[in-house]
Amino acid sequence: MRKAIPFLMTLGLVASLAACAPTESTTAQQSADCVPTAAGSASTGVEASGDFGSKPTVTIDFPTDVAETERSVAIEGDGDVVAVEGAIANVHFTLYSGATGKELSATSYDEAGLAPLPVDAEQFLVGIVKTIQCSTAGARVVGVIPPEESFADDAAREQLGVAADDDIVFVADVVSVDPPADPALPRADGKDQPAEDGFPTVELDEDGRPTITTPSTDPPSELAVAVLKQGDGATVEENSDVTVHYVGMNWTTGEIFDESWARGTPSTFNTGQVVPGFKTALEGQKVGSQIIAVLPPSEGYGEAGNEGAKISGTDTIVFVVDILGIG
């Protein structure tokens, strides 16, 4: 299943600052048999100028119309190769519409904005995996990606302003390569904790997927966090890469605006790149825990809200999160 991009991300796409030392299994010498996705007229027609590690100036011969992902190299690298399945490419990137050439989303092109992109089409967008796979650290790569190999659901497309039949253009600077992370838990396995007053109730189905029911009282005016299951794994430190299952619900409307459970795969992101209350709720917790966090607007999307997620500037939102792994 292709991974849709969760609405909770402040950049619209998963991002990270962590960059661990690569293992020998990802070196160029040991990965000479990695076969990259082929270039094509659409990808070679994208010009991405500027220094590596800085936001490029990009010119796209739009509209693009590719049947499968095309990949070109704008700057050659000579570092570790993104070759081992499950390895992580830490990148700066900018995403564009292939239909209009308009910029859709970008990282901040600083250390705190590095995005960890897993080489696993079961966990991340197929076309982006095809673009970064076999790339070397120090390279700038360009991917022109058809709809069939990009976003899995209409909500993610709507949030970014991508029509159902539009290509996307992905330009990434590969800064470093990490080995595959340790396997994540399938669901929170911590010890059940007593319910706390004032919080929504949470019921789990047989797979662990939560159903959230809010009380008839008004939501809290400040960030409120409670532990539903207490895990005993590693602690989520500040600005950690985490793997989680989650449900996000609008307290005001009772509507689910995003959840990883519905997509069938957990989400991996960095706690430094999510809305403030979500960051605070996760950091200091342990792997194996399940938490519930109630975020007033000031801890979520602020006065602007999130139009794509149908969250107004006065809506309180609720997250139930299973913390499955770190790194």
Q: What is the pLDDT of residues 154-200, one digit of tens each?
A: 777 888 889 999 999 999 999 999 887 677 899 999 999 998 999 99
Q: Considering the domain 24-178 in this protein, what is its CATH number?
A: 3.10.50.40
The reported pLDDT for the residue numbered 14 is 43
Give the pLDDT score at 33: 76
Nearest 5 degrees, angle CA 190-CA 193-CA 196? 140
Asked if 17 and 112 touch (Cβ cutoff 8 Å), the reply is: yes
Per domain, the residue ranges of the chain are: 24-178, 191-326
Looking at residue 247, its pLDDT comes to 96
Q: Tell me how far apart the alpha carbons of residues 82 and 73 are, in angstroms, rounded to a whole number.
A: 14
Distance of CA 82 to the CA centre of its chain: 18
Report the predicted TM-score, pTM, of the whole model to 2 decimal places: 0.57
CATH of domain 191-326: 3.10.50.40
The reported pLDDT for the residue numbered 155 is 75
Strand partners, 248: 258, 319
pLDDT (0 to 100) of residue 23: 31
Beta bridge partners of 125: none
Q: Which residues of the chain have pLDDT under 70?
A: 1-32, 153, 181, 327
Supply the pLDDT for residue 32.
53
Q: ∠161-167-169 over CA atoms, to 5°?
A: 90
Q: Is 282 exposed, middle or buried (0-12, 13-18, 19+ CB in 10 A)?
A: buried
The number of angstroms, rounded, from the C-alpha of 303 to the middle of its chain's C-alpha atoms is 24
